[in-house]
């Protein structure tokens, strides 16, 4: 090897890290709008490829054999994971965070074991390793639990017991206390084991009191823990791209959790400790109010006579995979000169951007998608609102019922439109488990059935295929 070969490789590594960091930042920028999201994904993939290639050029790599095996195993696991249906994306994301947390905890443990006999555990290194192992360990087991709850392999309801928060916080405090002692006396290896075990146990205990439906918010919080674990790992390995990517990951996960909490009008503490989703006595089984129900033909008649229509999609549209039928209705009504818009609530469905992704899949034009605050201004002048499998995000109780668990959550004011068509299978409640007075309002027509089927019938009526129209 020529004497100048090492510096050149080093330069190339640093240059590719710089390119990777720039691409990650651009990726986040582009991912924030549907029209540039594809470019954002490509930039993220490009950034990761640059980071991996740069690392492979690293002059101190001892052998490529293990790396090749790890990449083959990772690819073999990653390819099937990339093919899961959209409804399973939250649990797939949780699994990715679990792997990230595991990687951080393993790297931290390996570095501790390597540096301990060599006496190279400085205060800085031991602190970074302790943070990495605590965050990595709890992210690993916490994310596995979150994925299990979403996949319904573990019970989805919150499991609570007396003194739970105290026990959890005490465990965390013992782990942090042990970490401080370890930094002072790095040769006390048993403290390292205590930290590792407690962080793994804490991850499980943190998640069990949280209801399955709150998992998307928790997952984005775990995303930010995984990011912070990567930052700590970057300090341990003195790797700049890990520090940058981890910081971006950590902060974007945190911002997303804040946005989701705000959109549900819930605090972090309520999501983490509120045991939301427990069966609420009485609320769902209140006295039955009379509702006006009609057929797909009735709905089609209402729609045809409207000049403005707003569609409010919700979780039921995702369950029914009805986005393509929604698109057909959009086409039919637009063809008749009717103004059709889509009202997007930030937490409609079960993951951030759920409705945007489904509507984009059905190629609904982006400019027809309107955010909650903007559409609410137009709703009192709107002729017909079509609520497709949405419930909580259009529940007027959020505005006036102080006893309601969703009181204060911003909603789409579907009840303020001149008429409302609500499509769902039954009078069952949605995620929050509460009745919705929108369904019994005078200007609401319920059309019961699976959203895909009902919308398909409405399309048939609009195209005249249903006969007699
Ligand atoms: P929702 O309140 O959960 O209501 C969904 C409705 O869809 C149900 O009432 C259900 O009624 C109906 N439905 C289910 N399958 C259907 C089908 N095949 N065809 C027709 N209708 C169907 O949904 P949402 O209004 O979208 O509100 C989302 C909720 O999730 C909010 O409370 C939000 O806070 C919470 N959340 C969201 C996120 C997020 O990131 N988006 C994260 C955590 C929590 P039937 O059973 O009668 O059909």
Q: What is the pLDDT of residues 66-83, one digit of tens each?
A: 999 999 999 999 999 989
The counts of H helices and E strands in the chain are: 17, 6
Other beta carbons within 10 angstroms of residue 43's beta carbon come to 21
Lowest mean pLDDT among 133-137, 250-254, 346-350, 463-467: 463-467
pLDDT at 275: 62
Read out DSSP for 95-135? HHHHHHHHHHHHHHHHHHHHHHHHT---HHHHHHHHHHHHH
Biggest alpha carbon–alpha carbon distance for the chain: 87
pLDDT confidence bin for 6, thresholds 50/70/90? low
How far apart CA 387 and CA 166 sit, in angstroms, is 43
CA distance 347 to 354: 8
Q: Is the CB of 315 under 6 A from ligand 1?
A: yes
* CA 417/CA 400 separation, integer angstroms: 18
CA-CA distance, 295 to 314, in Å (whole number)? 20
For the sheet with 384-388, list strands across it.
Answer: 369-371, 339-344, 308-313, 384-388, 419-424, 444-448
In whole angstroms, give the CA distance from residue 258 to residue 220. 9
pLDDT (average), residues 404-409: 84
Say which of 214, 249, 392, 435 is annotated catalytic: 392
> Which amino acid residue places its CA nearest to atom 36 of ligand 1?
350
Q: How far is the CA of 409 from the centre of ligand 1 (A)?
A: 15
Q: What is the pLDDT of residues 327-377, one digit of tens each?
A: 999 999 999 999 999 999 988 998 888 899 899 889 999 899 999 999 999
pLDDT beyond 80 at 250: yes
Distance between CA atoms of residues 169 and 162, nearest Å: 13
Q: d(Cα 264, Cα 101) in Å, to the nearest integer?
A: 28
Q: What mean pLDDT do residues 81-109 have?
A: 91
Closest CA to 430 of 364, 349, 369, 374: 349
Alpha-carbon distance 469 to 462, whole Å? 8
Q: How far apart are CA 310 and CA 276, in angstroms?
A: 30
How far apart are alpha carbons 204 and 336 in whole angstroms? 55
Percent of the chain beyond pLDDT 90? 69
CB atoms within 10 A of CB 33: 12
- Substitution candidate for ligand 1 out of 424, 448, 450, 454 with most atoms within 8 A of CB: 424
> Which pLDDT score, from 0 to 100, does residue 469 have?
42
Query: What confidence tens digit (pLDDT) does each residue in 224-246 have?
Result: 999 999 999 999 999 999 999 99
* Angle, helices 89-118/215-237, rounded to nearest 10 degrees: 30
Q: Which pLDDT does position 232 carry in this prediction?
A: 96
Poorest-confidence range of 11-15, 322-326, 381-385, 450-454? 11-15
| Beta-sheet pairing, 339-344 with 308-313 | parallel
Is 392 noted as a catalytic residue in this protein? yes
User: Is 212 touching ligand 1 by the criterion CB < 6 Å?
Assistant: no
pLDDT of residue 422: 97
Q: Give me ligand 1 centre to Cα 350, in Å.
A: 7
Residue 433 has which token pair? 């488990």
Please indicate whether residue 266, judged by its CB atom, sits closer than 6 Å to ligand 1.
no
Look up residue 334 and give its two tokens: 């637009």
**pLDDT at site 248:** 95
CA distance 104 to 284: 44
Please write down the long-range contacts of 39-47, taking CB distance under 8 Å and 24 or more positions apart: 47/19, 47/20, 47/21, 47/22, 47/23, 47/245
Atom of ligand 1 nearest to the CA of 428: 47
Mean pLDDT of 10-22: 94
pLDDT digits (tens, 9 = 90+) for 272-323: 776 665 544 444 445 567 899 999 999 999 999 999 999 999 999 999 999 9
What is the Å distance from ligand 1's center to 313 Cα?
9
Q: What is the mean pLDDT of residues 152-181?
A: 90
Q: 269 with 261: CB under 8 angstroms?
A: no
Cβ(398)–Cβ(245) under 8 Å?
A: no
pLDDT digits 0-9 by tens, 446-456 = 999 999 999 99
Ligand 1 pocket test, pick from 221, 425, 433 with the greatest ligand atom count within 8 Å of Cβ, gives: 425
Which residue's entry shows tokens 């909650």?
A: 372
Substitution candidate for ligand 1 out of 220, 267, 314 with most atoms within 8 A of CB: 314
Calculate mean pLDDT across residues 117-135. Answer: 95
Where is average pLDDT lowest: 5-9, 47-51, 206-210, 367-371? 5-9
Position 290 scores a pLDDT of 85
């Amino acid at each position: 090897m020529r004497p100048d070969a090492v510096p050149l490789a080093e330069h190339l590594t640093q240059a590719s890290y710089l390119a990777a960091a720039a691409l990650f930042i651009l990726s986040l920028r582009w991912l924030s709008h549907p029209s540039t999201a594809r470019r954002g994904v490509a930039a993220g993939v490009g950034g990761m490829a640059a980071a991996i290639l740069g690392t492979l050029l690293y002059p101190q790599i001892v052998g490529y054999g293990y790396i090749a095996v790890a990449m083959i195993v990772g690819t073999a696991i990653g390819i099937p994971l990339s093919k899961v249906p959209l409804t399973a994306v939250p649990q797939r994301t949780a699994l990715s965070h679990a792997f990230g947390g595991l990687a951080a905890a393993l790297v931290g443990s390996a570095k501790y074991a390597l540096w301990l006999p060599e006496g190279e555990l400085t205060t800085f290194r031991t602190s970074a390793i302790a943070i990495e192992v605590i965050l990595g360990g709890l992210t690993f087991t916490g994310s596995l639990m979150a994925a299990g709850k979403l996949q319904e392999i573990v019970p989805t309801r919150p499991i609570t017991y007396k003194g739970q928060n105290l026990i959890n916080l005490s465990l965390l405090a013992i782990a942090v206390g042990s970490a401080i002692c370890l930094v002072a006396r790095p040769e006390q290896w048993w403290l390292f084991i205590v930290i590792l075990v407690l962080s793994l146990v804490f991850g499980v205990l943190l998640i069990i009191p949280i209801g399955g439906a709150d998992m998307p918010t928790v997952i984005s919080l775990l995303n930010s823990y995984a990011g912070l674990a990567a930052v700590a790992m970057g300090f341990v390995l003195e790797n700049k791209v890990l520090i940058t990517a981890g910081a971006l990951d950590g902060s974007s996960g945190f911002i997303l959790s804040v946005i989701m909490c705000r959109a549900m009008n819930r605090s972090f503490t309520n999501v983490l400790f509120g045991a939301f989703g427990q069966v609420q006595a009485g609320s769902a089984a209140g006295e039955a109010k009379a509702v006006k129900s009609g057929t797909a033909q009735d709905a089609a008649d209402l729609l045809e006579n409207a000049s403005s229509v707003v569609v409010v999609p919700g979780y039921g549209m995702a369950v029914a995979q009805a986005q393509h039928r929604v698109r057909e209705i959009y086409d039919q009504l637009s063809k008749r000169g009717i103004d059709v818009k889509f009202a997007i609530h930030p937490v409609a469905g079960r993951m951030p951007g759920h409705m945007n992704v489904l509507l984009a899949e059905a190629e609904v034009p982006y400019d027809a998608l309107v955010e909650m605050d903007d559409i609410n201004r137009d709703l009192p002048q709107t002729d017909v609102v079509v609520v497709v499998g949405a419930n909580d995000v259009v529940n007027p109780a959020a505005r006036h019922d102080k006893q309601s668990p969703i009181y204060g959550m911003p909603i789409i004011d579907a009840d303020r439109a001149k008429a409302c068509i609500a499509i769902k299978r039954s009078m069952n409640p949605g995620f929050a488990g509460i009745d919705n007075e929108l369904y019994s309002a005078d200007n609401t027509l319920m059309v019961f059935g699976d959203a895909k089927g009902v919308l398909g019938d409405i399309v048939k009526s609009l195209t005249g295929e249903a006969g007699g129209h």
